[in-house]
Structure 1
Amino acid sequence: MFENFDLERVILVVIALVIAIVGHEIMHGWVAYKFGDSTAKNLGRLSINPIKHIDPLGTIVVPSLLYFTGGFLFGWAKPVPVNMSVVIRNGGYKAGIFVALAGIFYNIVLAIFSLFMLVNFGDLFGDLFAKFLVFLFSTNLFLGLFNLYPIPPLDGSKALTYALLSLGFRGLADKIYSLERYGMIILVVILISPLSGYFFEPIRYVFKMFAGII
């Protein structure tokens, strides 16, 4: 298990993962705060201190198991608490969409920024910095695209629900919302089934577009 252990790689990927998932959660709370919901701020969850956002399972156990069994890292932080009733009251269902997509926006923007830095300044600060930028780009792009899927409990599902509500399709929105309690089970079943290959194909396609750059 440890024969191919690369400490440098692990450290760089962990830093990239923490930046990606902690920033993702903070953005949900920050955008909610802009629409009048101070829940996350009052609980100290808008802090960049990663300790406040660590989820023992998603931030430690799952990434560790994935690394030692598959060689890659993926995880999540504790969800930032958001009072969506306050958000919607102040900004309507569009505000709900903004809050839902805030983390994805953060990841995609950071991925683009990382790629820009890699292409233009990757060699300026040495090989270690270039490696970190590659991990930062890959982690954020993957998390951003993955969370776009309209499957509970992913952010894309929440954004779709509020979009349907804004268009007047309450019945359909309620059905999607009702799946939230089974969302993690549905997601796990998809990921461990033969469907996973098709599930990740759009993400693989996007990564192939950048293969020549990174």
Structure 2
Amino acid sequence: MNTLSLLEITATILALMVAIIGHEIMHGYVAYRYGDNTARSQGRLSINPLVHVDLVGTIIVPAVLFFSGAPFMFGWAKPVPIFIPTVIRNGGYKAAIHVSLAGIAYNFTLALGAALLLNVFQGEINDYFSYFFLYFLTQTLIYNVVLGIFNLYPIPPLDGSHAITYLAMILRWDSVVRFYDSIERYGMVILILFIATPLSTYFFMPIRYVIRWLY
């Protein structure tokens, strides 16, 4: 393995960890701001990656995608514990929506920041450090767009479905709430149908579009 390959692998892993761990921390932090101390009391607001590592989502899935030559990696961290009734009691259903969308907002903010920095520094590769830095920014852009848009889809158990459920509670759309309650148990099956079938072309189309637009 040459030096450039090692730098690319390191930058890719670092970018993915920042994206998925920060996503979960932001859920817990916003919940904490609304009075839910669950994540903080369990040490899950820490930036220490070891407390957030999920064996399957943080290690196995990204490794399989990487060694199989997938166009991009994907993964997730261990979900941060949140006691939503406390959030709702202190801030209402709007607060619950904020908690649901906090990780997505974090991912989109990082993606935009990476795009801006790439625009400033692109083409200035003079040494290994600058190569690592620009490659890290590129991977940060890609993975945060992937995670942000993926979690925005209104499919249980993704964040988008939670946000829509709480919005439906505010608007008293009881039929929508009942619909999500009825399909929650089938959420992973629905996701697999979108990801592992020809439907994936349409499922990931917005991700490809946004990445190209930010570049």
TM score, norm. by length of structure 1: 0.92
**Is residue 134 of structure 1 aligned with residue 143 of structure 2?**
no
Write the distance in 1 (CA, Å) between the matches of 2:183 and 2:201. 23
**Per the alignment, in what secondary structure is the counterpart of residue 173 of structure 1?**
helix
Write the distance in 1 (CA, Å) between the matches of 2:194 and 2:102. 25
Q: Which amino acid aligns with 2:57?
A: G
Root-mean-square deviation (CA, aligned residues, Å) is: 1.7
- Partner residue, 1:60: 59
Write the distance in 2 (CA, Å) between the matches of 1:137 and 1:190. 23
**Is residue 120 of structure 1 aligned with residue 120 of structure 2?**
yes
**Is residue 196 of structure 1 aligned with residue 200 of structure 2?**
yes
**Is residue 179 of structure 1 aligned with residue 183 of structure 2?**
yes
**Per the alignment, in what secondary structure is the counterpart of residue 68 of structure 2?**
helix
Is the contact made by 2:114 and 2:141 (CA closer than 8 Å) also made in structure 1?
yes
Write the distance in 1 (CA, Å) between the matches of 2:178 and 2:51. 32
- Partner residue, 1:208: 212
Q: Which moved more, 1:169-178 or 1:139-148?
A: 169-178
Percent of aligned positions with the same letter in both sequences? Answer: 52
- Partner residue, 1:8: 7
1:48-92 deviation line (CA, Å, top 9, x unaligned)? 000000000000000000111133311000000000011011111
Write the distance in 1 (CA, Å) between the matches of 2:157 and 2:9. 28
- Partner residue, 2:32: 33
**Per the alignment, in what secondary structure is the counterpart of residue 6 of structure 1?**
helix
Aligned length, in residue pairs: 208
**Is residue 94 of structure 1 aligned with residue 94 of structure 2?**
yes
C-alpha deviation, 1:181, in angstroms: 2.1
C-alpha deviation, 1:201, in angstroms: 1.5
Q: 1:167 aligns with which of 162, 168, 171?
A: 171
Write the distance in 2 (CA, Å) between the matches of 1:168 and 1:42. 34
Q: Which amino acid aligns with 1:85?
A: P
Q: Which amino acid aligns with 1:113?
A: G
**Per the alignment, in what secondary structure is the counterpart of residue 15 of structure 2?**
helix
C-alpha deviation, 1:163, in angstroms: 0.8
Write the distance in 2 (CA, Å) between the matches of 1:93 and 1:30. 17
Is the contact made by 2:8 and 2:132 (CA closer than 8 Å) also made in structure 1?
no
Q: Which moved more, 1:157-166 or 1:115-124?
A: 115-124
Is the contact made by 2:141 and 2:211 (CA closer than 8 Å) also made in structure 1?
no
C-alpha deviation, 1:182, in angstroms: 1.8
Q: Which amino acid aligns with 1:118?
A: L
Higher relative contact order (CA 8 A, sep 6+): 2
Q: Which amino acid aligns with 1:133?
A: L
Write the distance in 2 (CA, Å) between the matches of 1:107 and 1:11. 20
C-alpha deviation, 1:126, in angstroms: 1.9
Structure 1 unmatched runs, 5+: none
**Per the alignment, in what secondary structure is the counterpart of residue 147 of structure 1?**
helix
- Partner residue, 1:22: 21
C-alpha deviation, 1:136, in angstroms: 0.8
Q: Which amino acid aligns with 1:16?
A: A
**Per the alignment, in what secondary structure is the counterpart of residue 37 of structure 1?**
coil
